[in-house]
Every structure is written in C-alpha cells, then in structure tokens.
Amino acid sequence: MSNLPFRAWRPALTAITVMMALSACAIGPDYQRPVLDLPAATSAPTATLTQDWWLQFQDPVLNDLIQRAQQHNQDIARALARLDEASAGLTSARADQLPQLGVNGQYQRARLSSVGSNTSLDRGEKVIGSMQTGQATLSYQLDLWGRYRRASEAARAELLASQFAKDTVNLSVAAQVAQGYFNLRALDQQLQIAEQTLQSRQASLALREKRYRGGVSSELEYRQAQAETAATQAAVPRLQQAQAAAEKALQVLIGASPRELMTSQVPRGKTVTELTTPPLIPAELPSQLLEQRPDLRAAEARLIAANARIGVAKAAYFPNISLTGNLGSESLRLADLFSAPAQTWSFVGQLAMPIFDFGKTGAAVDAASARQRQALADYTQAVQNAFRETYVALQAHRTSREQFAAQTAQVDALRRALRLAQLRYDNGYSSYLEVLDAQRNLFSAEIDWVQTRQAQLDAVVSVYLALGGGWSTPRP
C-alpha cells in the first residue's frame, strides 16, 4: 500500500478541495431576533443577575435546603440528563461535517465446485482455497448547500436551549423550596399561636366554670367561653395536618429518600417574622434584566434551532454528493497480502438528487417552516408572560409590604383592646361578650398577620423568579 503513487489519489484530493471551497454558504434563512414592542429602556445603571438570591433572607437552614435540592431534586436530574442528550446530539451533528474513516479486514476460505459454472477448473483439480483482504475506507459527504452546517447550528442552539432550560429548572426549584420553607415556618407559627390561644382559653374556661358553679356568673358566659375554646381546639389539628403536608412536600423538593420521608423532619431556622426582608426593590431596575431570564433565552434558542431546520429541509432540493476512497490489498496467501502486486484502490464520486417525489421535500420544508412559526409564537408569548409576571410580582411585593404594615398595627391595637376589655369586665363595666369578641378578633388577626408575612416573603421570591434571579447594581 505504501508504494501507491500519489498521482492515483491526486484527482480525488483535487475534487475534495474544490468542493470544500464551494461550500462557503448555507441555504435557508439566517436567524434575526424578532422585533417586539417592548417598554422604553431606562437610564438606570446596568444591573446584573445573581444566582444566589436566597442568601438575602439570611437563614442558614434555608441555604442548606436549597443547596440540597440542587444536588438531589429529580426535576434537576432530569434537566441534566436532557442537557447531556443535547450535548451528544451536537457531537453527532458535528461529526457529519467531517470525513469518516473505517477499516475492514476479511479472511475467507471456501471450496469451489469442480463441475459448476467455474469452467476454469478441471476435474480433480483442488477446489479449496483461501482469500485475505485488508481495506481502509475514507468517505466524505460534501456539504455544498449547508445541510450539515445548518443541522450543526440547530443542534448547537438546542444544546443552549437545554442549558437554559436546566437553569430555569434550577431557579424554579430554588423558588419552590424557599416558598415551601416559608409556608412551613408560617404554619409552625400559626400552630404556636393556636396552641397558646388554646391554653389561654382553657384557663379562662376553667375560671368561668368556677364562677358559674359558685353562682357568681351566668351559664351564658360559661357556655360562650366553652364554645370559643372548642373552636380554637378544632383549629389545632387542622393546622397540624397542613403542617405535616407542607413538610413532606418540602422534603420531596429537596430529594429526601422514602425512608427520610417517613422517619425524619425538616430542620427549622428562623421564623417568618425573624427572616430578614430584602431591601426595597429599586423602581429603576432596567428591563434588560428580563433578557437574562433563562426561560426566555431557552425559547429564543429553540427559535434559532427551528430556523436552522428550515435550511436542513431546503437542502434536500439539491444534489447530495459523496466521495468514497478505498485503499487496501487482497491476496490468496497471507504472506503476499502486503506486497505491491496485492494492492488495490478505488475512488467513487456519487451524486444523488431527487427529481420527482410527489411533494415530499416541499412538505418537509413546509413542516419545518410551520415549526419555526410555532417557536416564534412560543418565544413571543414567553416575552409577554415575562413582562406580565414581573409586573404582577412587583405589584404584589409593594402591596404585601403595605398590607403587612397595616396588619401589624391591627394586631397591636387588638392586643391593647383585649387588655382593656378584660379590665372592663373584671371591674364590672361590661359583659364577658366583649372579652370573647376581643379574643376572637385577636386570634383571627394574628393568624392573618402570619399569613400576610408569608405572602410578603413569597412576593419577594416571585420578583426574583420573574427577573430570572437576584440583581446587583454597581455602587455609585
């Protein structure tokens, strides 16, 4: 094989060089970002996203839970597997653009018929023989029309989409863990309020019973106190059930095993009222932050991939040219397999082009164009939803702060009102009904106060989720 003259391969190499020089452009539309009607850009300083936004709440337990979820959550594991699949698809698409080299070795031993169609054999001549063959094959598909380059472009965009999709899942899981943790801590605090209220009302009921038995107060006061105590007692198991359900849902998010689900509990950190509230969100946050949202970037990457697939489909209209070269040797004797007389070579250029396929190629182009329009609609809708979610989250963040401040003032006023009602009753200025009303109003207000605090924390997480993460602005 080493003695094969270069001039035998020169025409093939020349053809390959010319064809590769011709393949400088790719058929199909080049991607251009769609023009959308977006809000006017702000003149605020450039802000950048930060991925560890949950550190703003300053709760080490919450930090540990989110870190564990990022390592063991099954949604994240599924997204990582899709990312690996897309990476393998890109490698495969790139390989189509490169020459393929293969080797083949064959040993054959056979007996030929001396009375068959092989007339060169005389009767009685030996009809058993061996054949050894060794061959190397180099093949290359010319990408004159950019079919494989468009396919590689699409695979690269799909890989980016998978990466951004994984980032979206990471962000979503972190937000779910944070909000699940806030829900659990809020239920813990509500249960504590209910149990403390129950103890207080049981003590008050015991006193009312003594006064009733002693003839100091009426049976009406005793029965009213008994009813209020029973109502609070019924709230305790309801809150316990909600607490257990929230705890197990949070454990699934952080990837707890079935054994851990049945035998362990979620660690507790700060209460919802102790958690640090992040600073006010600056009103001048640039809308360019939304462009960094991973779901928007994933939607645009899928649009780029669909756009490139149109070129792949259109390339089927044009000839498909492949070059194949074989270099090897063939011999009846193994000792002569690598000798000069045993050498063989061949060069094949093949052209295939559809002439009439009953509209199959055109249908493939139409289908690719339709998928591109679907991806465009998905991208446009993703942008719309991003601005909607951001607007709603900012509104909820602002109103929840105002609501929590108002309910804090309400709880303080009702606590004062309960003390005054108790003093008025003890001194005979009012009936016990005023005390019961004050107790009932305070209990309901304290439960609502905790729920509003949870809603305030959830609203902050929703802002982070809407913007694709936290943000940081350069110091003046």
Q: Is residue 460 within 8 Å of residue 278, measured between CB atoms? A: yes
What are the distances in angstroms from CA 326 to CA 4, 7, 142, 347?
Answer: 12, 15, 17, 6
Q: Which residues contact 274 (CB under 8 A, 6 or more apart)?
A: none
What are the distances in angstroms from CA 266 to CA 66, 90, 177, 219, 252?
Answer: 12, 41, 12, 46, 11
Q: Which two tokens stand for residue 5?
A: 């003259």
Q: Which residues contact 470 (CB under 8 A, 6 or more apart)?
A: 49, 50, 51, 52, 53, 56, 464
Residue carrying structure tokens 């645009």: 300
Q: Is residue 23 within 8 Å of residue 142, measured between CB atoms? A: yes
Q: Which two tokens stand for residue 174?
A: 């972190």
Q: Which two tokens stand for residue 314?
A: 């259109």
Separation CA 191–CA 243 (nearest Å) = 8
Partners of 49 in the β-ladder? 471
Note down pLDDT in tens along the chain; length 476 residues: 444 444 544 555 555 555 555 455 678 888 888 888 777 654 444 555 677 889 889 999 999 999 999 999 999 999 999 999 888 988 888 888 788 888 887 777 777 666 666 555 555 555 566 777 777 888 877 777 878 888 888 999 999 999 999 999 999 999 999 999 999 999 999 999 999 999 988 888 888 888 888 887 788 888 888 888 898 899 999 999 999 999 999 999 999 999 998 998 999 999 998 998 876 666 556 666 777 889 999 999 999 999 999 988 888 888 887 888 777 777 766 666 667 777 777 777 777 778 888 888 889 899 999 999 999 999 999 999 988 988 898 889 889 989 999 999 999 999 999 999 889 888 888 878 888 888 889 999 999 999 999 999 999 999 888 888 776 655 54
Handedness of CA 197, 203, 206, 212 (dihedral sign): negative
Q: Is residue 42 within 8 Å of residue 289, measured between CB atoms? A: no
Using DSSP bridges, classify how beta strands 128-141 and 100-111 pair: parallel, antiparallel or unpaired: antiparallel
3-state DSSP helix/strand/coil percent for the chain, to nearest 5? 65, 10, 25
Residue carrying structure tokens 């080493």: 2
* Nearest alpha carbon to residue 250 among 184, 170, 189, 175: 184
Q: Which two tokens stand for residue 74?
A: 């099954």
What are the distances in angstroms from CA 15 to CA 23, 316, 349, 413?
Answer: 12, 22, 9, 91
For the chain, count helices (H), then strands (E): 9, 6
Q: What size, in residues, is the chain?
A: 476
Separation CA 230–CA 202 (nearest Å) = 9
The full set of domains in the chain, from first to last, is: 1-27+100-142+329-352 (2.20.200), 31-97+145-318+360-472 (1.20.1600.10)
- pTM of model > 0.85: no
| Single-letter code of the amino acid located at 327 | L
Q: Is residue 443 within 8 Å of residue 193, measured between CB atoms? A: yes
Q: Which residues contact 200 (CB under 8 A, 6 or more apart)?
A: 439
Separation CA 455–CA 399 (nearest Å) = 10
Dihedral of the CA atoms 12, 14, 16, 18 (nearest 10)?
Answer: -150
Partners of 129 in the β-ladder? 110
Separation CA 126–CA 120 (nearest Å) = 12
Give pLDDT tens digits for 180-214.
999 999 999 999 999 999 998 888 888 888 888 88
Residue carrying structure tokens 């804090």: 408
